[in-house]
């Protein structure tokens, strides 16, 4: 597969008529959303499999909230 740069893709898209540019934007947006859904589904299936294998330990509400806080701080 020949890789193209973002600049090349933009220049090519700008050669399309305006209505086709709008269609391209819509198609790309919908495909990106679908890709995100697929990633979420894959993660969910893995989480369910991990749960069924007993890889999660029971937590109290306080422990779960503290864990969520730690995870959100790590993401920042």
**What does the pLDDT look like over 43-73, one tens digit per residue?**
999 999 999 999 988 899 999 999 999 998 8
SS3 of the chain: helix, strand, coil, percent, to 5: 80, 0, 20
Whether residue 2 has pLDDT greater than 90: no
59 SS3 class: coil
Whether residue 22 has pLDDT greater than 80: yes
Residues 16/24, Cβ–Cβ less than 8 Å: yes
Q: How confident is the prediction for the chain on average, in pLDDT? A: 94
In this prediction, residue 57 carries a pLDDT of 86
Taking the model in full, what pTM does it have? 0.66
In this structure, the number of other CB atoms found within 10 A of the CB of residue 13 comes to 13
């Amino acid at each position: 597969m020949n890789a193209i740069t973002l600049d090349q893709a933009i220049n090519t898209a700008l050669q399309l008529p305006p209505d086709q540019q709008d269609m391209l934007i819509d198609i790309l947006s919908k495909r990106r959303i679908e890709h995100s859904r697929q990633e979420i589904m894959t993660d969910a299936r893995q989480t369910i499999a991990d749960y069924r294998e007993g890889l999660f330990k029971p937590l109290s509400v306080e422990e779960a909230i503290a864990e969520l806080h730690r995870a959100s701080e790590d993401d920042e």
